[in-house]
Amino acid sequence: LTLLVQPVGDSAEPVGFVRFHGVSLGEGFAFLESAVTGVRGLRAGWGVEASRLALAYAMDALEIRRVEAKVYAYNVLSINALRRNGFRLEGRLREARTYGGQRWDILVFAILEGEMRAQRARERFPYMGFWPPDARP
């Protein structure tokens, strides 16, 4: 599932994407990948907001209970975006990436259903499922 990031009231051009891959509906987990490109998209919060919307959709409509993301240790903007969305650091793949002639760790982050729900309640984020939670079959 890939969603384009397009700022409201801005030009018609997308500035990035949010993607779920490795989705297991039976087990209730998915992997999250997101990217915002171009100078105008960086530090604007669009990636954080788009990921938050995608997480809400995954939890409410797809009944995903765990979302995992991996990020390179040098990518501070992505690390901060994951933390702003409630992800917690769960592990580290040591020296798993070479970039700029240097070995870097890959950090493994995840968020669980209860953590997503608590954050959404604090932020008064709306339900995004197909039918009300109490009316599910």
The β-bridge partners of 84 are none
> Domain 2-130 sits in which CATH superfamily?
Gcn5-related N-acetyltransferase (GNAT) (3.40.630.30)
Where are the chain's structural domains?
2-130
Q: In 3-105, where does DSSP find H-type helix?
A: 46-60, 76-84
CA 74 to the chain's CA centroid? 18
pTM of the predicted model as reported, rounded to 2 decimal places: 0.83
Asked if 20 and 32 count as a contact pair (C-beta separation under 8 A), the reply is yes
Per-residue pLDDT averaged across 121-128, rounded?
78
Strand order in the sheet with 16-24: 2-5, 16-24, 29-36, 66-72, 102-112, 88-99
The pLDDT > 90 percentage for the chain reads: 53
Q: What is the pLDDT of residues 41-99, one digit of tens each?
A: 666 677 888 888 899 889 988 999 999 999 999 999 899 999 999 999 999 999 999 99
Asked if 81 and 48 count as a contact pair (C-beta separation under 8 A), the reply is yes
Segment holding 83, helix H or strand E: helix 76-84
pLDDT score of 5: 78
Q: How many CA atoms lie within 13 A of 118 on its CB side?
A: 7
